[in-house]
Chain A
Amino acid sequence: MNRIFGLLAALLLVAAAPARADTNLTFYYPIAVGGPLTKVIDGYARQFEKENPGIKVSPIYAGNYDDARIKALAALKAGQSAPLSVLFSIDIYELLEQDAILAWDDVATSADDKAWLKAFYPALMMNGTYKGKVYGIPYQRSTIVLYWNKDAFKEAGLDADKPPANWNEMTQMAAKLVKKDASGNVQRWGVMVPSTGYAYWMFQAFARQNGQDLMNRDGNRTNYAHPDVIAALDYWVSLGKKHKVMPEGTIEWGTLRQAFTEGKTAMMWHTTGNLTAVRDSAKFPFGVAMLPASKQRGSPTGGGNFYLFKKTTPEERKAALAFVKWMTAPERAADWSMATGYVATRPDAYETPKLKEYAASFPPAVVARDQFKFATPELSTFQTGRVRKLLDDAIQASLTGQKTPAAALKGAQTEAERLLKTYR
């Protein structure tokens, strides 16, 4: 029976082929950072079409990461999914559970293709690999770095070229950097770490620096209540509550960049994806450094991966592979990194003349790459939306003083256990 169907399908394909000479490749992509990036993506698509006649690429901007996932999955449920999408790297378990995606290993079969799968930074593959197979090809990938205002450092009598290397230094420097007006109101804060939107992501950095990861590799266990994790949240809370170097309450992700470029905070933790936008709007010299260490350095990776969907024809799969290979080629990776501040996803991109030149004139561009040694994958588990929100809520409840970090994290851990038990 199956054979007959296969034969029929093959016949249909042969019949359809001449009528539809072009393979249409629609893909959704999200944007979560500043800058006119839709233009850049459209430009890539046109250039690819020129170099690869027979494939038509239609990129569809799909909002932020949440919107993009919703659109892709809604299209899937309606039976007309796009063959290819850039989605959040941590959506992998959700997509696997919906049985929506295909491993790239299954289509990238030639020796050349296999070498391509190994060309990326290992740190960036961690979120895209499940049970030894690659489902996500890193594309718009970022990590958290520390931005500091050199003028503010000078004004506070600090060495403008020496960012804090560990938590103690950060607290002490931040205390010196706080500036108050005559009536005692704070004009400039020492440091800000955003806590809306991606609070769990920022917290992963604190936890990793304190020696802990927040989930296991199979995505079915969390580690929210480890004493070192609680200590990490204690430190974050203490920056506002005890040391008074950060505003109390939560800090908005979306407006933090302005707060920094307007000089309202001397240091901020933010995604590298904002690097180019900060460079374009900061009126003072600024530096970019690795995040400070506690027991070790550490920062989670983040951002979007290319996923290939299951409901695709062989032609679409071939076209998708060709396009993604083209999009992630060293030249393009270098170009994309310069346009956005996202990290170039592979070592050989940093060997291209243009990125070498750019890095020489603008050293912050390579800080994220150097930090990969200390990277940890972004928080991602089965039931990822719920498990992540538990942590977000715990962090926000602690920062706003409604719960102690220990109570908040223990509560979140208990709930996460309940959700994840069935996946073991």
Chain B
Amino acid sequence: MKHVYGWLLLTPAAILLIGFTHYPAAATLLDSLFSTGTAVRPSRFVGLENYAALAADPIFWQVLGNNFWFALGTIPTAIALAMVMALWVNDKLPARALVRMAYFTPTVLPMIAVANLWLYFYTPQIGLLDKVGALLFGAPSHNWLGDPDLVLPATMVMVVWKEAGFFMIFYLAALQSLPPELEEAAKIEGASRWYFFRRVTFPLLMPTTLFVLVNATINSFKLVDHLFILTKGGPDNASSLLLYYVYQVAFSFFDTAYASTLTVVLLVMLALLAIVQFLLIERRVHYR
């Protein structure tokens, strides 16, 4: 009887989880083994053919590379910035609430709105960046989003701007849970602020850093909304990311089978990343 009661309690959550997470994942895996069907040509089993096509697809490799640089460019920067901001707004400074809110604002905005804002920052000549650049330094106009070398860094700056405030909140919460005695003790011992940060604060923040790192990594694969507004993945796929490519293949090319194949690859990569992160970093995380 007790078992039934327990299962009943679990049912609502289980239904949602199976219906919206596990079943779609399994269906995607299955779909990736079939060809895309149309009314004229029904879908048929093709085994690993879609995966062979994927390995031979130059755009897939380019997009994967972009995603790698995108992750490498955004994650450490966003985390470092979040930590600095949290330390700064944790101190007693005038109008602290206001500063905290200001840092958090970008997080509240929807990505589409942010991208529309930044589209006008980046627009050559009439955009904010070019206007300020010309006014202060007499800099020539830059085609930020139209140059394959600049476009990915340009989107990375925007994402860091948007993400850092969110991660700051976690660091702020962690900082406030640190016992004040530690700082007092360090002061009595004559430790410098940098030494205190390096040997006490930073290690104590490690659990938060792990959490933020996992989130930031997932986000670097998940956040593609800005591409719809800013670049549509262009020029020539220079700013395209894996998930955006999945979207294009699924809804612009209507190749559901190949889109499933790409999704499976994305899922496997994310799962591997999460496992590696937990296994490797957990050893060095300082839990109290």
Contacts and interface: CB of A to CB of B under 8 A. Distances in A.
A74 to B, nearest CB: 9
Contact of B237 (A184, A258, A385, A393): A393
Contacts of A197: 232
B145 interface: yes
A397 interface: yes
Contacts of B252: 66, 385, 389
Interface string B138-149: 111101011110
How extensive is the interface on chain B, given as a class? Answer: 20 to 34
B152 interface: no
Contacts of A94: 254
B80 interface: no
Interface stretch (B118-126, B191-199, B275-283): B118-126
B21 interface: no
A402 B238 CA distance: 11
Contacts of A183: 138
Nearest to B148: A400
Contact of A255 (B40, B123, B134): B123
A184 B140 CA distance: 8
Contacts of A248: 143, 146-147
B148 A402 contact: yes
Interface string B92-127: 000000000000000000000000000110011111
B68 interface: no
B189 to A, nearest CB: 57
Q: Range of interface residues on chain A?
A: 35 or more
Nearest to B40: A97
A345 B148 CA distance: 39
A395 to B, nearest CB: 8
Nearest to A423: B40
A79 to B, nearest CB: 14
Given A247-B146, A255-B126, A385-B252, A397 B235 contact: yes
B49 to A, nearest CB: 15
Which of B143, B148, B236, B254 gathers most chain A CB within 10 Å?
A: B236
A259 B234 contact: no
Contacts of A184: 140
B248 to A, nearest CB: 7
A185 B141 contact: yes
Interface in B228-269: 231-232, 234-238, 248, 251-255
A190 to B, nearest CB: 14
Contacts of A259: 123-126
Contacts of A383: 253
B38 interface: yes
Contact of A97 (B39, B138, B238): B39
Given A70-B251, A249-B143, A258-B123, A400 B235 contact: yes
A399 B235 contact: yes
A393 B245 CA distance: 13
Given A66-B251, A97-B38, A247 B123 contact: no
Nearest to A251: B146
B111 to A, nearest CB: 16
A392 interface: yes
Contacts, number: 103
A406 to B, nearest CB: 16
Given A185-B134, A255-B120, A400 B236 contact: yes
Interface string A261-277: 01010000000000000
B42 to A, nearest CB: 12
Contact of A252 (B123, B138, B248): B123
A264 B134 CA distance: 14
A380 to B, nearest CB: 14
A186 B141 contact: yes
Contact of B236 (A252, A385, A396): A396
A189 to B, nearest CB: 8
A386 interface: yes
A413 interface: no
A260 B255 CA distance: 38
A385 B119 contact: no
Contact of A254 (B40, B119, B147): B119
A259 B143 CA distance: 13
Given A97-B39, A197-B232, A252 B146 contact: yes
Given A186-B141, A249-B143, A264-B126, A385 B254 contact: yes
Contacts of A195: 146, 235
Q: Which of B40, B125, B138, B253 has the most CB of A within 10 A?
A: B125
A322 interface: no
B126 A400 contact: no
B126 A262 contact: yes
A78 B123 CA distance: 40
A45 interface: no
Interface string A63-88: 00010001001000000000000000
Given A247-B124, A255-B119, A393-B236, A385 B253 contact: yes
Contacts of B255: 386
Contacts of A185: 134, 138-141
Nearest to A262: B126
Contacts of B123: 252, 255, 258-259
Contacts of B124: 247, 259, 264
Interface in A140-192: 183-186
A112 interface: no
Report the 5 A-B pairs with minimum CB-CB distance, sorted nearest first.
A99-B39, A249-B146, A396-B235, A250-B146, A249-B143
Interface of A: 66, 70, 73, 94, 97-100, 183-186, 195-197, 247-252, 254-255, 258-259, 262, 264, 383, 385-386, 389, 392-393, 396-397, 399-400, 402
Given A185-B141, A186-B141, A259-B126, 19 more contacts: A66-B252, A70-B251, A185-B139, A185-B140, A196-B145, A196-B231, A248-B146, A252-B146, A255-B119, A258-B123, A258-B126, A259-B125, A262-B125, A264-B125, A385-B248, A392-B234, A393-B234, A396-B234, A402-B236
9 contacts: A98-B38, A197-B232, A249-B147, A249-B148, A250-B234, A250-B235, A385-B252, A385-B253, A400-B235
Interface of B: 38-40, 119-120, 123-127, 134, 138-141, 143, 145-148, 231-232, 234-238, 248, 251-255
